[in-house]
Amino acid sequence: AKKTLPAVDEEELAKHCVREDCWIHLFGNVYDVTAYLDFHPGGVDELMRASGRDATALFNQYHPWVNYDNFLKSCYVGKFCGDLSKLK
């Protein structure tokens, strides 16, 4: 099984901001979407805009109806415990 963490703060999240190691924050959860990137119907570059950051606002902007939970089950890292306002 993949490693999960008890919690992830904004500092830890921000470390994972490249194509080969890409985490995002979505609705209070942190996901490692590195493997999902190639499957994102909106493309790698679009999803990379949220790498190491909050993806919730962009997600809601483009497709609030998408059932992300289904797609990201295997990508789950942990709960976000940081301060979203500190994310760039």
Where does this chain bind ligand HEM (CB under 6 A)? 24, 26, 33, 40-42, 46-47, 49-50, 55, 58-59, 62-63, 66, 68, 71-72
β-pairing, 29-32 vs 17-18, is: unpaired
Return d(Cα 79, Cα 13) in angstroms, integer: 11
User: Residue 49 or 86: which CB sits closer to ligand HEM?
Assistant: 49
Return d(Cα 35, Cα 47) in angstroms, integer: 12
Closest distance to ligand HEM from the beta carbon of 42 (Å): 2
User: Residue 62 or 86: which CB sits closer to ligand HEM?
Assistant: 62
Strands, E, within the chain: which ranges? 7-8, 17-18, 21-26, 29-32, 53-54, 76-80
User: Residue 17 or 72: which CB sits closer to ligand HEM?
Assistant: 72
Closest distance to ligand HEM from the beta carbon of 3 (Å): 19
